[in-house]
Amino acid sequence: MARTKLEHPTPAELEALQVLWQRGPSTVREVMEALEATRKGRAYTSVMSLLNLMVDKRLVKRQPQGRAFLYIANVERQKTLTQMVHDLCRRAFAGSTSALVAHMLDHNQPTKDELREIRQAIDGYLAGKDDGG
């Protein structure tokens, strides 16, 4: 049976994209070292295979740089994360934003600083709605 094409990056692809979004254009070795720094290390050949698959899926672009290639994120961070969260909310929480947020609060134990940021985000959202936004 053929594997279905995923709408979103796989967890491993998302880890590589996080590196590219943070660092910008990077070689296989640079991506590998960044993953090792977060305890998600992988072999050089595994990272190279992953990045090449991501080129095929158009998640990243590749440019020659000497004898190596630079890999560049071809998808925007905010747009990708928004699509993933929207899909999660729709599929797992029947489209209920409040159920998603309640679940996150119940299971992720946000710090007081994070809760303050969440309150500020809600206040900012409501202020934008009040202004006709």
The pLDDT assigned to 40 comes to 74
Per the CB < 8 A criterion, the answer to whether 28 and 65 are in contact is no
The pLDDT assigned to 131 comes to 66
pTM of the model: 0.81
The pLDDT assigned to 46 comes to 95
The pLDDT assigned to 129 comes to 80
The pLDDT assigned to 15 comes to 94
- CATH topology (fold) of 11-73: Arc Repressor Mutant, subunit A (1.10.10)
Regions of the chain where pLDDT drops below 70: 1-7, 131-133
The pLDDT assigned to 133 comes to 55
